[in-house]
Structure 1
Amino acid sequence: MSDDDTRTAAAPTRREYVKYGGAVIGGGILAGCTGSETGDEGEPEEDGDGDSYSVTMSPAGEITLEHPPERVFTNLVHHADMALALGHGDSITALYAPQNFGPLYDLFLERLEDVSTEWTDLPNSWNIDKEHLYELNNDLHLADPAYMTVMDSLDRDDIDEISENISPWFGNSYSDSHREPPEAWADDYEYYTLWEIFEKVAAVFQEEQRYQELTAVRTDLLSEIETNLPPETDRPRVARIQTGLSDGELSIWPFPLTDPGYEQAHLRPLGAEDAFADTEAYSEIDLEALVEADPDVMLITHAMGANSDFVETKEFLENDPVARTIPAVENDRVYPMAIRYGGPIAHLFQLEMGAKELYPEQFGEWPRYDGGAYPELPESEQLFDRQRVADIINGDTEQ
């Protein structure tokens, strides 16, 4: 055991500080991961004394808090996006690949007045060790505890120790495509939609009003899309892929559009024909398989942000004698998608993005994208109200 382990084990825990009336740093969380199924709808359940509230989500179970967290650890960015959407983006103390996802979210936020983050210089939460978590001293670990154990630095005992001595875990990541969680968590693991997770996170922050307002924006956007979709016979055959370009070689990973889970939440409503419906996600294919899939449209994910090579990839496809026979390449219908697993803010932008890329006649054309911020569309061509979203994030919600 390290010196830090010995010191933290001997000190009063955050829970003990609350119980005995001591000063609590950074938010005063009373943590509990009991696995109870109470409060499963996402609404806070008030304890008998009226001072604390409980929220439940698999796999962490029920957590109890004294008031909304002020220092929040995140791992995958969909959770950080949720905190940001609820007006708590500044609470984030760590993030997976912040030098990529910080700048990426800045590209969305260019279009939301007075909404910004400072995520780029945060600690990288991938493979973070237990000692660093003690140093961060967060009020909440907004991350899937099962997912955290796939890293080399933490095991189940570490997860339990952090929950007991610092603050609870609360997050869900394997709902991305309904993947199997680690065996130790598999029996009780539940899958949720993106918006169900968002509702529970809103309950943790006690920001139900913001959640409801953003839900109304999403409902209006989905209604606009559903109402104006062309008949199924007129919809394109679409390949959604992730690519990597290195030394003149293109690596390709297809993702089925109709996979369950929140990874496809911005594409399923578009109802396109799936060029890779029978392909297992996360499996690599070669260029010949992409040609054989014969897509009318190609959507390249992770095509925005600091590490994007979208422009180079598009040029590779256009110049390769095999790739340029693909209808999507031949007809200049290779488009960017920003991110695989974003939260509600990315979800709204990517719903709009996808609608324009797949159905320009119904929703207006997606402008040519050569990098930089999310394009500044004329107000008449926007499918959701940017100012309304910015106002919600900034606390100007309808009463």
Structure 2
Amino acid sequence: MSGVPGAPVPRLATPLALRSVTLRNPVVISPMCQYSAVDGMAGEWHRVHLGRFAMGGAGLVIVEATAVTEQGRITPGDLGLWDDRHVGPLRGIAAMLRELGAVPGIQLGHAGRKASTQRPWQGHGPLGAEDAARGEPPWPVVSASPLPVADGWPTPHQLDRDGLAAIVEAWRTATLRALDAGFEVVELHCAHGYLLHQFLSPLSNTRSDGYGGDVAGRCRFPLEVARAVRGAWPDDKPMFVRISATDWIEGGWTLEDSVVFARDLKALGVDVIDCSSGGMVGVSATAAAVPRHPGFQVPFAETIRREAGIATMAVGLILDGPQAEAILRDGRADLVAIGREALVDPNWPLRARQQLTGDGDFDGWPEQAGWWLGRRARTLDRKTP
């Protein structure tokens, strides 16, 4: 690697060990729903979409929210792992990511009352008659309590003990399928107003049966799911949990609640808390009427890391290499995750490293591209007055 002689290697370019899994760097591609599956099956879009991030130098690439039950899909286009037939295409994707140098991860989720929704570009509302006419009819939704996500949305069925047990088992078997598919990191989705977040937040959980009430009661079901996933996942492989660290709403889930929850997750063997926020109200996954600025969620990762004593991942408007490096160097998080910036530039991890090292020779880039780009850079240098 070129650059300043004797300069320290950036944290952004330093390998990170999590249990027996070593990431080539702490840059993670966040799970980003593509709403492009057919009957839960991954296709060529998913393969190309994810492969470009591995080529671009990310240490960990996490496959989008993948439904543990058919009823738990956000939209008809969601990926699934509720059936053995879903394993084959995902196995090919995991193997491809690994071959390209990235660790393959997958996020497992259930949408709860936010299920049975149109794709964003089809309206982002509840499925209705027009959707049914094109072969995508609505389906019943479930939640912690019979409270719809918004006016005009279906009222969910409140899960009883049998329903809760069935969903725990669905998460467990989906985890086993993820392992069979070759993934090395599993992430449990407890954020963005989806089912497990619906249990955590007092805005969506009004139960009085031991799965509601105080923080301990509202955490009970998510912790049961986390225990089942950790039990099915090998001891030598890391487990992440994505949370909404705050609802951003008076009377909702708070950062203080998240610290308590993170401590409980750590006791179960969770390795990393992925710190997002919002999503409890509105249809958008992260909807919240809050000012958004670069790194606006980083304080959540910093607080949980410090107060719960667990590794954290920062996400949300992390825009460039110096910003990401400062987050890691200052001990505010252990990993940084990018999403939409990677859609703009799939080579973001490689370009961020260049920003930090002054490496103009494209060392570390795939050689199929790097040798071309190195020649181009030298040509441009010669033409600079």
- Same-fold call, TM > 0.5? no
Higher-Rg member (1/2): 1
TM-score normalised by length of structure 1? 0.27
